[in-house]
Amino acid sequence: MRHLLAMALGLAIIIVAGVAQAADNPTGTWKWEVKFNNQSRETKLKLKLDGDKLTGSISGRNGDTDISDATYKDGDIAFSVVREFNGNKITSKYTGKLSGDTIKGKSESDRNGKTQSRDWEATRVKE
């Protein structure tokens, strides 16, 4: 009986550890609303964590763009998005903190020599 109890307890610990690790993994699809000029647009971010390598893409007006310089460690997410408008490259840098099915953070981009900053809060899409 003690042997079965010990096995059950060990299995429960493994399951709880696995659930906690999965909850701290940014892999998945994330959505949030971006508002500007009295308009609102849904943004979709797809992330994949493979070991310590984070990759993905983000939606935009002209389709999806791959993210670059992506990192994830201890719940902290950071990545850049480089887009081109009218022959000008614009780099947006995103930082955020993962907590369960939410990422809260800031994005910064330089446009015409001025840095613009926005808060963003994404929710994981249940698939």
- CA 23, CA 45: separation in Å to the nearest integer? 17
Superfamily name with CATH number, domain 26-124: Avidin-like (2.40.128.30)
Per the DSSP assignment, residues forming a β-bridge with 99 are: 102
Query: Apex CA 58: angle with CA 78 and CA 64, to 5°?
Result: 145
Q: For residues 61-87, give the mean pLDDT.
A: 93
Asked if 58 contacts 43 with a C-beta cutoff of 8 angstroms, the reply is yes
Query: Does residue 84 surpass a pLDDT of 80?
Result: yes
Q: For residues 99-103, give the mean pLDDT.
A: 96
pTM of the model: 0.78
